Amino acid sequence: MDAQLITQADYVLNRCGRPQAPQGLSAVYLYKAFMIQQYFVTNPPTGTVTLTKEVTGDTNWCLRAIQMATSNATALSFQVLLPNGRFLINNQQDVLQVAGYGSYRYLFAKELVCPPGSKIQLTLADTNTSVAQPFAILFEGAYKFYVKGASSICMVQDAAAHMPRYLRNFNENIMAPCWQQGIGPASPKGVSDIEWVYPCSLGTTINGVFVPGATPIDVAAPENVTVAIPIDAGSDFRCRRLLVNILADATVTAGNILCRVRTGSGYSFTDDYIDLATYLGSAPMPKDWEIKAADTVYIDLQFVNDLGGSAGTGNIYFQPYLEGTKRRAA
């Protein structure tokens, strides 16, 4: 094995403009993960911290998934600046909307190649300073070593075609959409997809901490509210998940928020008000919801109290996100 091929390999472009290894090389992946941990004490002196983890090693490291450990007391917002200079989510998002491990970890549709010395920057904001909160996040991936060989690199789709249907391990979920396994769906010819998360354009302060995208409703005197999520004019958006987070002041004793989702172009995603957080929130869609460029997603909110009587005092908060991909001409 030539050390020069392990540390560096020249790329060439195929007819589609996709980087590929030179003829006669193959790649070997060795598992590697980087962990970041943080502990927020009760009433911390600062509610926001920024942590940095450097990618170490002698070759490129490919980021494939993110796992997070949380508890019932977790009340944090986070944002990740990736080594390529892009944010994982273009605004701070509630940790519980993304947190998971094993079959429920956050998977990348396409692995992100990170060169040695590049850095991952994590920003955490404590949204409930009255309790102590431990937090751990694991960035999973693999070192990519190039070795000499007679065959070219085996594509992920080709390798998956030869795998057994049942892998007999605890991470298996054969009912998950193919894109959640990191192998598709492939972008059509002539277009490119960028993973993206759209937040609500509003925000409010909860317990002294500004929470982006949160919309308050006064439970003592509730009014119907409509929140808007504008889509950029430069590209269409294919929504794959609706992420919904419901927060409430400690003085709220009952009630919930029903939602009706529609677009400015006249399309109704839901025909009536439903409990979006319970029935759709965070669930992968079997088919992408296509939203045209420059359109706007409107979510009509209605506070309800099925128990009747008083719902307490203070506010209940609705925090929505649209997760999917931006699509534009290549």
Residue 87 binned pLDDT confidence (cut-offs 50, 70, 90): confident
Averaged pLDDT, 287-316: 92
Is it the case that residue 300 has pLDDT exceeding 70? yes
| Contact assessment for residue 53 and residue 119, using Cβ atoms and an 8 Å cutoff | yes
**What pLDDT score does 286 carry?**
80
Ordered domains of the chain (ranges, CATH): 3-181 (2.60.120), 191-329 (2.60.120)
* CA 217 – CA 122 distance, rounded (Å): 30
Instruction: For the beta carbon of residue 83, count every other beta carbon within 10 angstroms.
Output: 19
Task: Output the pTM of the full model.
Answer: 0.53
Helices (H) then strands (E): counts for the chain: 3, 20
Torsion of the alpha carbons at 65, 69, 75 and 77, rounded to the nearest 10: -20
* CA 104 – CA 324 distance, rounded (Å): 17
Q: What is the pLDDT of residues 170-219, one digit of tens each?
A: 555 666 666 555 555 678 888 888 889 999 888 898 888 888 889 999 99
Q: What is the pLDDT of residues 269-278, one digit of tens each?
A: 999 999 998 8
